Structure 1
Amino acid sequence: MTGPERLRAALRETLRETLRETSRAEWVDAALAEAGERPETISRSFAQAGRRAGRTPLPGVPGWTADEATRALLLAALPPDRAGAGIADLYHHGDADEKQAALKALPMLAVGVAGLPLLHDAIRTNDARLLAAALGPYARHLDQAAWRQAVLKCVFMGVPLIAVDGLEERADLELAEMLAAFADERAAAGRPMPADAAALLDRLTREES
């Protein structure tokens, strides 16, 4: 079983357990079945998920709520040839919660690099939740320059760097230089660097030395 398949299975199992024998569980099952059989229905179900599935955090799948899991599973139920266009349409017409769920779903979908425009859009926003979601596992598709800028924006906006997937592996000397320049700006303004960013800069500097 691949990573995306394991995540889908974990979300589905935990969602069923969390909503067990409730009207919400019945609605989720029906919506997922309908999305597979009639993909044109997904926009309605995607928008309704917050109200119909609820926003309960899912135990065992940190960082996911019932509505996010439902939306991700709806996207995963789309036929492969419609997944790319489907997620783009739902992202651009969705509210912040729907956008965040679409971004978190990207690693589960066989869309290749087709989801990159969504990441770039999220990174341009000033919504910390979207920025954090954009730097999940799918961010491996970002080129290094775009990825560094996104990490620096996390530091600027106070998004905890624990949200950045693969940070330890991808952080490099150029990112260290960018962080050092930002630290100097902060110091000149009498403001400290976030502790996680300062620790990352210290590690990168020591490794270079």
Structure 2
Amino acid sequence: MLDAPKPAASTWEIATTFNEISLSSFGGGLSAWSREMVVARRKWMDDPEFLSAMTICRILPGANQVNLAVFVGTKLNGMRGAAAALAGLIFMPTVLLMAIAALYAVFQHSHAVQHVLAGFAAAAVAMTLQMVWKTGRTTLTSVVPVLLFALTFVLNGVLRWPLWWTLLITAPLGIGWAWRRAHRRIKAQATLEPHAVPKAGATGAAP
């Protein structure tokens, strides 16, 4: 069986998509909008692949979303895709931020401005919770992922352990579980293959 072709996109499509992500997430919620565009709309990744990419990008140095843009762009169109994703993600926000910073310096004490910023923050929290709910429904489908999620939340979110210490505990557990699961799947497929029914035309017709 031939492998399915990898998803591909033009540099322009990548740039405009990440430009839409950056502008849609004005005020926060960048991770949620990244998932909405990359997974739900463009179908460039599925939820497990997106979460794996997000995990890698959070571990590596640098801004998480910049790392993710480079990851997705490289996957879709190599180095040109990475450059297009990075440009789309940061160009317009940089221009807008410079303009907003100039305005904020003048109107920073205005109550209306403070209320607007508070509204943006609330929307960002809602988008993040929406992403957690949607991705959780597709990935937390057995006991082990739920336990790993709970352990990570307690160590990093409640006890405030540094990310590296949390990963030193949860990463080996998650990798070991995933390896055993993949090994069992491969073994099961190998067991079933000798008993598979041959396709029509695979053997010659009886004379």
Instruction: State the structure with bigger RCO (CA 8 A, min sep 6), 1 or 2.
Output: 2
Greater Rg, structure 1 or structure 2? Answer: 2
The answer to whether TM tops 0.5 is: no
The two structures have a TM-score, normalised by structure 1, of: 0.24
The two structures have a TM-score, normalised by structure 2, of: 0.25
